[in-house]
Amino acid sequence: MSAIAVSMEERMKIIRSDERGTTEIGWLKSKHSFSFGDYYNPDQMGYRSLRVINDDFIAAGEGFGTHGHKDMEIISVVTEGALAHKDSMGNGETLRPGEVQVMSAGRGIQHSEFNPSQTERAHLFQIWIMPETRGLIPSYGQKAFETEARTNKLLRVAGPKRAVDDGALKINQDADLFLVRVEPGKSVQYHLDAGRGAWIHLMDGAGKINGNEVNSGDAASIEGLYEIVLTADQSAAEFLVFDLK
């Protein structure tokens, strides 16, 4: 029994919210799953092609001024309020809860992100994934996904192009991002193919990942456990699930 327990522990690691980095600069409060900006942790430099998960709270009327990115697949998921986006490709959109934005920075792009509300804060997850190929032509995509489509089942919202179009936004990496909302007392299973890794982040609520209790902001990295079970406790649990080459 002990040998099995050790093996399971080696294959799955729980990362608690209070182990993440923190940035607070007045209008911005952010938690960093991996090293980012002034936060540096040599033990958390990313996971496979996943380089950044920033959990950002932006004060009303504030935001990130025009800045550049290069050779990165950037995914934004808003959970509260709104995010106004403008970029050097001519896109000017507002992202709201239920919508996902993908920006392939490629050979270089400039953009800005602001909370357009003068009274309400915005909350979003910004995710960076390293592309398979550098120097690509920049591109932009945004799409609304219905809550029902991810309730008690995994909904692929971003990833590489598949033979059958499932509506996911395209990124230039063999990495799939799923959203799932697990209702109280229910479970969702996911099969991870051999040789791949999963990173699971609990955005909101409380639940379990393969029987391990997790709360909002906790995450798990998984290697070699082919069956993953996500469970919600007494309230709904919102998960980000990454399936990575």
pLDDT in tens, 80-107: 999 999 999 999 999 999 999 999 999 9
DSSP 175-236: EEEEEEEEPTT-EEEEEPPTT-EEEEEEEESEEEETTEEEETT-EEEEES--EEEEEE-SS-
What residues contact 49, with CB distance under 8 A and at least 6 apart?
Answer: 129, 130, 173, 174, 175, 244, 245
pLDDT, tens digit (0-9, with 9 covering 90-100), for 50-89:
999 999 999 999 999 999 999 999 999 999 999 999 999 9
Domain spanning 2-244: which CATH class is it, in words?
Answer: mainly beta
Check if the beta carbon of residue 58 is closer than 8 Å to that of residue 122.
yes
pLDDT, tens digit (0-9, with 9 covering 90-100), for 116-153:
999 999 999 999 999 999 999 999 999 999 999 999 99
pTM value is 0.94
pLDDT at 225: 87
Chain centroid, CA 175 distance in Å: 12
CA end-to-end span of the chain: 30
SS3 at position 3: helix
CA pair distance 240, 91, nearest whole angstrom: 26
Residues in the chain, how many? 245
Q: How crowded is residue 44: how many other Cβ atoms within 10 Å of its Cβ? A: 17
pLDDT at residue 8 is higher than 90: no
Q: Phi and psi of 150, rounded to 5°?
A: -120, 10
Enter the tokens of residue 38.
Answer: 């002034």
pLDDT, tens digit (0-9, with 9 covering 90-100), for 109-124:
999 999 999 999 999 9
Give whole-number Cα distances, 119 to 60, 63, 135, 216, 233, in Å. 5, 14, 40, 25, 32
Cβ density class 217-233: b for 16+ within 10 Å, e for less: bbbbbbeebeebebbbb
pLDDT over 90 percentage in the chain: 94
Could you tell me the residue ranges of all domains in the chain?
A: 2-244
pLDDT at residue 42 is higher than 90: yes
pLDDT at 156: 98
